[in-house]
């Protein structure tokens, strides 16, 4: 099966390629000479934004397309940054600027509970959309740990280690994204493989 990943985030592409089976041939928009695609991510939910991204690429390619929208939801910040996790510190932040802003907002907070949520939107070759969710609970550490510089990984701790301290295989064995992709893999197995 040929699948286009509707994302411009190279860290997501790397994780998704590692988690999905070899049976699925994954292409990035760049592989099809789509250098940029305009999506205004102004949805109120991860699901809305995932659909917007998948639809933008599907409309260009008419090929099966998968998009991932992910957010970090922090309990003592009324579940912010949530759907705004990308543009949290400013309009075009580095990962580090976002982490610094979150740590500073949580400076005086004892409750550090948080969760990551991923919603995948798959649009099949006929244009029908399907959704798959994955969530993992954890907590925000008081400072950065580890050297894996992807989003909030260095400050999101599960079982006494941050994602930033884990080997990618360990993160991928139970992350929000892996849980959503497991559901997607089952869906593909049941519907597209004989």
132 binds ligand ITT (CB under 6 A): no
3-state helix, strand, coil in the chain (%, to 5): 40, 25, 35
125 is annotated as contributing to ligand binding:
no
In the list 27, 130, 131, 150, the residue contacting ligand ITT (rule: CB under 6 A) is 150
In the list 55, 86, 157, 179, the residue contacting ligand ITT (rule: CB under 6 A) is 86
Q: Using CA atoms, how far apart are residues 63 and 75, in angstroms rounded to an integer? A: 38
151 is annotated as contributing to ligand binding:
yes
In the list 65, 85, 141, 162, the residue contacting ligand ITT (rule: CB under 6 A) is 85
Asked if residues 179 and 132 have their Cβ atoms less than 8 Å apart, the reply is: no
Residue with tokens 């950065």: 144
159 is annotated as contributing to ligand binding:
no
Piece of the chain touching ligand ITT by CB under 6 A; list 55-63, 67-75, 102-110, 135-143: 67-75
In the list 20, 51, 52, 70, the residue contacting ligand ITT (rule: CB under 6 A) is 70
Piece of the chain touching ligand ITT by CB under 6 A; list 20-28, 102-110, 147-155, 186-194: 147-155
62 is annotated as contributing to ligand binding:
no
Q: Using CA atoms, how far apart are residues 113 and 93, in angstroms rounded to an integer? A: 24
In sequence order, what DSSP letters do the residues of 124-188 get, joined into one string? -TTS-EEEEEEEEEEEE-SS--SS--STTGGGEEETTEEGGGS-HHHHHHHSHHHHHHHHHHHHH
Piece of the chain touching ligand ITT by CB under 6 A; list 30-38, 54-62, 132-140, 146-154: 146-154
Collapse the DSSP code of 113 into the 3-class scheme (helix H, G, I; strand E, B; otherwise coil) and give the result: strand
Binding-site entries for Mg(2+): 69
Binding-site entries for substrate: 7-12, 70, 150-153, 171, 176-177
């Amino acid at each position: 099966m040929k699948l286009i990943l509707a994302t411009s985030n190279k860290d997501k592409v790397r994780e998704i390629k590692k988690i999905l089976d070899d049976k699925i041939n994954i292409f990035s928009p760049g592989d099809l000479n789509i250098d940029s695609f305009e999506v205004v991510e102004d949805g109120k939910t991860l699901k809305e934004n995932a659909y917007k991204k998948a639809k933008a690429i599907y409309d260009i390619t008419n090929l099966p397309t998968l998009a991932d929208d992910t957010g970090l939801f922090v309990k003592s910040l009324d579940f912010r940054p949530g759907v705004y996790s990308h543009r949290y510190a400013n309009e075009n932040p580095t990962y580090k600027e976002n982490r610094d802003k979150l740590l500073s907002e949580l400076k005086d907070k004892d409750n550090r509970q948080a969760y990551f949520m991923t919603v995948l939107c798959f649009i099949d070759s006929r244009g029908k959309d399907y959704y798959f969710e994955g969530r993992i609970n954890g907590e925000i550490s008081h400072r950065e740990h580890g050297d894996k510089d992807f989003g909030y990984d260095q400050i999101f701790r599960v079982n006494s280690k941050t994602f930033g301290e884990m080997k990618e295989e360990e993160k991928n064995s139970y992350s929000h994204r892996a849980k959503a992709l497991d559901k997607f893999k089952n869906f593909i197995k049941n519907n597209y493989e004989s």
